[in-house]
Amino acid sequence: MTQHTDNTLRLIFPQWQGGNNGLYHLGARLLNWLAPVHDGPTEEVDVGLPDGRELRNEQGILARTTLLEQLRDARRKIDKHSPDRVVVIGGDCLVDLAPFAYLNERYEDDLAVLWVDAHPDIMTPEQFENGHAMVLGNLLGHGDDEFRDHVRKPVRPANVCYLGVNDASPWEQQEMARHGLNNVAPETVAERGAEPVLEWFRSTGAKHLAIHFDLDALDPTLFRALLFAKPDATAETFEGIAQGKLGMAETVKVLCDVAKEADVVGLGIAEHLPWDAQALKTMLDALPLIGQRES
């Protein structure tokens, strides 16, 4: 595995508006606290705290203006360092748009992208209003003009592989097939481990790899800090929405096995929703002596 002694930027990006869920902000904060100490440059994208107000739909996308401002801020902070590698601590999935677009420019056709996710993330405003469901489509050069314009060099579809996508909608399946996007399904991982991903990576001819790791690719019955493990959700809450089926240990093993062959230059971790931590914070805030509501 590559030892990262060069210029690796850690980008803290607690964006929550792309997924329309304020808990992504706390999720990013906790991820950063839990992550190993970083001795290289660190930047934080300017993201406002959730205030309980409903986000406004602007031309088909919730909080369009705010998301574009954060996208520009992320790119400015990346360009400030011109890093060789970027680690993104998110936030919803849209956090990887600016850093992966930057990496694809830096490494050109020598970059492959492994998209670890339960969902394809190639929707447009015609299908959905949450920007985090559109990010890979934007990186491929599709979707909303204002977001796509921030991708100066689109990623080649052959250089993209999903890990964990399952139960995709008919529209998503059609688009994945139309663009020729590879997918290694959870059951394939269980049977063959990293080998299908390695076969794909070798086929690209690329040396460098960026990994998008949406935690919702994980099985919510095994790891609970995910959207689909929301404590007050009913059986109908997520009906028709694909849920993750990967185990954490098997996913980590695949990524580490691939990193033995690939030069990993990007890692984005997104969609951490720490329900229990939020409940505990609310409890502490309400307790006498320690709580903020004490009179």
Q: For 170, phi and psi rounded to 5 degrees?
A: -55, -40
pLDDT of residue 1: 37
Its pTM stands at: 0.96
Q: Domain 8-286 class?
A: alpha beta
Rounded Cα distance, 187 and 245, in Å: 8
DSSP result, 57-91: EETTEETHHHHHHHHHHHHHHHHHH--SEEEEEES
Burial of 10 (0-12, 13-18, 19+ CB in 10 A): buried
Rounded Cα distance, 119 and 243, in Å: 8
Distances (CA, A) of 44 to 24, 32, 209, 265: 15, 11, 23, 19
Q: Where are the domains of the chain?
A: 8-286
Q: Buried b / exposed e across 189-215, counting CB within 10 Å, b at 16+?
A: beeeebebbbebbeebebebbbbbbbb
pLDDT of residue 293: 61
Look up residue 25 and give its two tokens. Answer: 């902000």
Residue 112 host element (H or E): strand 111-116
**What size, in residues, is the chain?**
295
**Other CB atoms within 10 Å distance of the CB of residue 236:** 7
Measured between alpha carbons, how far apart are the two ends of the chain, in Å?
A: 55
pLDDT, one tens digit for every residue, the chain (295 residues)? 344 446 999 999 999 999 999 999 999 999 999 999 999 999 999 999 999 999 999 999 999 999 999 999 999 999 999 999 999 999 999 999 999 999 999 998 899 999 999 999 999 999 999 999 999 999 999 999 999 999 999 999 999 999 999 999 999 999 999 999 999 999 999 999 999 999 999 999 999 999 999 999 999 999 999 999 999 999 899 999 999 999 999 999 999 999 999 999 999 999 999 999 999 999 999 999 999 764 4
